Amino acid sequence: MQTTVSHPAYGLITYEESFWTGKKIITFDGIPLTKINKTTYQYQSLPADPFASPEEGVSAPVTVTVKGNYISGVSLVIGDETVTLTAKATVLDFVLGWIPGILFFAFVIGGAIGGALGAMIGMGLTILMKTRKKTVHKVLICIGISVAILAVGIPLLLAALAAQA
């Protein structure tokens, strides 16, 4: 996931986070920030004049703290200021994302395995719903996946009930 936000003092702030590894890369106007620990970075601007001595035009280091994640919303705390990079997922994103996961658990595979797979479906779809802007697209995705799960799950349920009889 990569997000770019324009800031009056720091220019273009680019935040990139790897989905698989969680590695974060933050740049201010193309200058990468130095990682201090898991959530803290440091920024020091370069002099405007490339021929200036190293002491001239260099600002004091600025500490930047990363708060949140993709679902809860990512923000940077720079001194006293908070810069929001991504908004948090809405209740609608969670509801529409978790309906297919719950249906998968209820109709396709029950138990611990079905619960784990249903949770993976729910979280994956919540992330997908967060990327969509239009509510109509979110609802259509939810309906489409729910219908597909029910098309597989109801015959499985009926076959299991018929086998018990």
The reported pTM is 0.65
Q: Quick check: 1 pLDDT over 80?
A: no
**Cβ–Cβ under 8 Å, residues 117 and 102:** no
Q: What is the pLDDT of residue 59?
A: 62
CA separation, residue 164 to residues 114, 155, 159 (Å): 21, 14, 9
**In which band, very low, low, confident or very high, does the pLDDT at 49 lie, cut at 50, 70 and 90?**
very low
Q: Quick check: 140 pLDDT over 90?
A: yes
Residue with the bigger pLDDT between 92 and 2: it is 92
Q: What is the pLDDT of residue 45?
A: 65
**Domain edges within the chain:** 2-84, 91-164
